[in-house]
Amino acid sequence: MSTAPTDQDTTYHSLVDGAALAGTAGSIRAVNPATNGEGETEFTLLDDDQVTKATEAAEQAFAAYRTITPQQRSAFLTAAAAKIEASGEQIITTAMAETGLPQQRLQGELARTVNQLRLFAKVAETGDHLGVRIEPALPDRKPLPRPDLRQRKLALGPVAVFGASNFPLAFSVAGGDTASALAAGCPVVFKAHNAHPGTSQIVGQAICAAVAEQGLPSGVFSLVYGHGKEVGQALVRDPRIKAVGFTGSRSGGTALMETAAARSEPIPVYAEMSSINPIFVLPSALEKSEELASGFVTSLTGSAGQLCTAPGLLFVPEGPAGDAFVEQISQQLSETTGSTMLTPGICASRKRGEETLAELPGVAQVARGAEGSGENAPAAAVYSTDVSTFLSTAALSEEIFGSVCLVIRYANAAELTEAVTGLEGQLTATLHLDEENADDVAVARNLLPHLELKAGRILVGGWPTGVDVGDAIVHGGPFPATSDGRSTSVGTLAIDRWLRPVAYQNLPEALQPQEVRESNPWHLTRRINGEYQLASRK
């Protein structure tokens, strides 16, 4: 296998079945969005037939990979984390050139990526995700005997994962979808994002090296480069692929959903797509309006607004206190300077979105920052409208990927509730209030049941940008935030997307899988006769 890209290298290829595979469908070069300059290194693109080599290898690897012990799977994920960490300096340098993201942001993202792999290593070893349930036979039960029933969850099969543009590490080659799928026992065919191919190559090689070091089948992980739509559709159509993980646009996600549903064997697509993450400022919160305005502006402009949890809607009360708050936002935003966006295409889309917003009837500009250096660093902007206009104008619910927010002025609690019921599905919804103010607590209590039906994560205080990775987090929500609001793409619960339950009735012990045997050789916590039995860890 080739080594990671250096200044002297000129061509790199997909990593398929443990080896570099030269593509025959042309090549790409990374573009530095800060300069619009093209990199020297080429990355060859696979055609549809070549992609099949990756899915075939994944299918062949699945039979063995799904049966390894929890300890073996944990050791693999831990090894992958260590190898990525060891290449950290090169990864950061390459990602900075390919994305325009600052070093500090990428260092944090790298730490999140390796920690996420280690988290799923613990999940794999603990084995709680296997969901073992046992109901021993009751031959004397009346009126009918009960058979011996044993249930576990097992991996679906090879999974296709698509890299996100805005997170070249944490939602990319070794990101949450990959980590959770591998922890579940699913081989991964990863479609690299063409905006950061060099970063993808380094991380992909680290994972492949861990596969080889741990003695696993080489098809457990493949990294493929290709023309986005063509190769993506080919992967989802491939009968060997049993599920899909995607982070990107609503149009991209729904296109994959349609293809998956049209297969002779439809498969699940877990797509994170579109969210405008409403913030609800209740009157009592305006007592700290300057601090609130500062937090909002920081959340809006961080990473040039290229976060799936960036605040796109800000609900503010009408009246003098609300006016003063909006004025403080205007003053603080005017002091900001635009940051470089990820790609020229993303920047162009963001500018078109803002132009459309500015031309809509009933919408007025509130504030605007300064343009950044280069062509791809537009100024942050805030616009304003009222609840009636928002509810009657569908375009105002469309995501603008970047530092653009719409302030919605509301007259009273009833109007605020009406606005919530008119929202689409969201990743997050945030409430700001004084918890000691009885009136606003009552308003929040009334809003909460409505927000629960609209968002996957509800915050009180703070800002939605920044997602903690752990057991209790949900990064998902009703459509169009995600394609399936029953799941999450961040946190340990993400592993459930790649599993399905199987029950075994009256299986002799010699035939029983390790997870459901009476001896409990894997030391799992299991539910037996309706009660959890905690196993000692060894």
In the 8-state DSSP scheme, what is residue 492?
G
Catalytic residue among 186, 208, 308, 347: 308
Cβ of 471: how many Cβ atoms within 10 Å?
10
**Two tokens at 231?**
């190769």
Active site residue 272: yes
- φ, ψ (nearest 5 deg) of residue 292: -65, -45
Place of tokens 């080429």: 42
Is 186 catalytic? The answer is no
- The CA distance from 511 to 490, in Å, is 35
Asked, as a colleague might, if the bond just before 283 is cis with ω within 30 of 0, I would say no
Tokens of 295: 């937090």
Catalytic entry in 109, 272, 399, 515: 272
**Pair 218, 12: CB distance under 8 Å:** no
Query: From CA 373, how far away is CA 303, in angstroms rounded?
Result: 15
132, 526 in Cβ contact below 8 A? yes
Distance CA 95, CA 89 (A): 10
Structure tokens belonging to residue 45:
């693109």
The residue ranges of DSSP E strands in 115-242, in sequence order, are 133-135, 149-155, 159-162, 188-191, 221-224
Quote the CA–CA distance of 239 and 78 in Å, as a whole number. Answer: 30
Burial of 523 (0-12, 13-18, 19+ CB in 10 A): middle
- Identity of residue 538: K
The whole-angstrom separation of Cα 114 and Cα 295 is: 28
Per-residue CA distances from 391 to 223, 248, 312, 418, 420 (Å): 44, 26, 15, 9, 10
**Starting from the edge strand earliest in sequence, which strands make up the sheet with 426-432, in order?**
364-368, 381-386, 404-410, 313-317, 278-281, 426-432, 455-460
Contact call for residues 100 and 32 (beta carbons, < 8 A): yes
User: Annotated catalytic sites, by residue?
Assistant: 272, 308
